[in-house]
Amino acid sequence: MTAVLVLEDGMVYKGESFGARVRQVGEVVFNTGMTGYQEVLTDPSYTGQVVTMTYPLVGNYGINREDAESGRPQVRGFVVRECCDHPSNWRSLGSLHEYLAQHGIPGLAGIDTRSLVRRLRTAGTMRGVLSTLPGDGERVEDLLALARSFQPTGPDLVRSVTTSTPYRLPGDGPRVVVMDFGIKRNILNMLSAKGFDLVVVPCTATAAEIMALSPCGLFLSNGPGDPKDVPEAVAVVRQLTGRVPVFGICLGHQLIALGLGADTYKLKFGHRGANHPVMDLATKKVYITSQNHGYAVDGATLPAGVAVTHINLNDRTVEGLAHRTLSLMSVQYHPEAMPGPQDSRYLFDRFEEMIKTAC
């Protein structure tokens, strides 16, 4: 069965279909991870995107219960060089094809993913349509018009993945309020491992609603899209900075920067993968990190009281912030993802120390 990917610049990739027989439009991006495809598929930060894997063979260890970062796949479509039909792993409960078909996600295989990734690196991420419907390979003009009409960002992205109502994950330690912009399960696991009494609230929660929960700390999660599409969260940062310790990851990092008065900007093709080198400027240690974001903090716009704590060694972008006098810090990458090494756990230790000092 054939499938087609049409980019907004008119480029067409035709190959083999897997997953669901549907048509989806999204922002076409790439991920450089060699493993972790199930975490990629289920990460809410990929909402609204068609993800291309640079590693050529995907699906070889199947799908399991343990590796999902949310309750279902969040991507709009999935593009690979080769999709494994017969996975082999003791945890596997089914194939990648079966998993995507079950959840209505189209897949495209058998194309030169190197060509597609080089095109995205040269021109930047693009809007595109991935279709596995019969006959769509001959309707390129219609698909091109659909791709060009797509809006890849907006406030609805975060609101589609945030929790609808607050919920609690009980712990014996201090209470931490978690703002959910599309949080990954392993972030909650890492916070729970610290013994925190977690209350997870929607992205629309106000500062007053958060303080009514008597928090000893505030955590801002990862999530999809442009941080400027979530102004209510920026207002929360402004109102609560200095009142409780604050820690943010990924989108939470960008929202903290905006709340402090800095600016953010869209990267050409983003950082998505499990092998990005990041330096902690205080220790000069370099960490191999997992990343998934299309926006970055403009370091030149940071106010005097805020220090850059981490930088990306590939392009020198800002990867971490800390306030010089207040209990506030953030990182752009995902310390909970642990792509092999587990040495970024220290960031959760720092958050714990901030809370112990404040409470």
pLDDT of residue 306: 97
| 3-state helix/strand/coil string of 83-115 | ECCCCCCCCCCECHHHHHHHCCCEEEECCCHHH
The sheet carrying 285-298 orders its strands as 167-169, 197-201, 175-179, 217-220, 246-249, 328-331, 318-323, 306-312, 263-280, 285-298
Rounded Cα distance between 1 and 256, Å, is 46
pLDDT of residue 214: 97
Residue 188 has pLDDT above 90, yes or no: yes
pTM of the model: 0.96
The secondary structure element, H or E, covering residue 200 is strand 197-201
Rounded Cα distance between 148 and 133, Å, is 19
Q: In terms of CATH architecture, what is 157-358?
A: 3-Layer(aba) Sandwich (3.40)
Round the average pLDDT of the chain to a whole number and report it: 96
Q: Give the Å distances, CA to CA, from 258 to 194, 238, 251, 261, 299.
A: 28, 9, 11, 5, 11
* Residues belonging to the chain: 359
Common-topology check for domains 2-152 and 157-358: no
State which amino acid sits at residue 229.
D
Domain range list for the chain: 2-152, 157-358
Residue 341 has pLDDT above 70, yes or no: no
Rounded Cα distance between 241 and 235, Å, is 10
Q: What is the separation, in whole angstroms, between the first and last Cα of the chain?
A: 60
At residue 22 the predicted structure's pLDDT band, cuts being 50, 70 and 90, is very high
Residue 302 has pLDDT above 70, yes or no: yes
- For 29-66, the pLDDT digits (tens) are 999 999 999 999 999 999 999 999 999 999 999 999 99
pLDDT of residue 220: 98
| Mean predicted confidence (pLDDT) in 17-37 | 96
- Give yes or no for a contact between 211 and 246, defined as CB atoms under 8 angstroms apart: no
What secondary structure letter does DSSP report for 357? H
| Mean predicted confidence (pLDDT) in 173-199 | 97
pLDDT of residue 138: 86
Residue 237 token pair: 């940062």
pLDDT of residue 30: 98
Q: Give the Å distances, CA to CA, from 310 to 111, 265, 293, 299.
A: 37, 18, 16, 11
At residue 155 the predicted structure's pLDDT band, cuts being 50, 70 and 90, is confident
Residue 340 has pLDDT above 80, yes or no: no
pLDDT of residue 338: 66
| Mean predicted confidence (pLDDT) in 20-37 | 96
| Mean predicted confidence (pLDDT) in 63-79 | 96
- For 218-263, the pLDDT digits (tens) are 999 999 999 999 999 999 999 999 999 999 999 999 999 999 999 9
- For 103-137, the pLDDT digits (tens) are 999 999 999 999 999 999 999 999 999 999 998 88
pLDDT of residue 170: 97
Q: State the catalytic residues.
A: 250, 334, 336
The secondary structure element, H or E, covering residue 255 is helix 251-259
Residue 261 token pair: 């008065």
**In this structure, which topology does domain 2-152 adopt according to CATH?**
Glucose Oxidase; domain 1 (3.50.30)
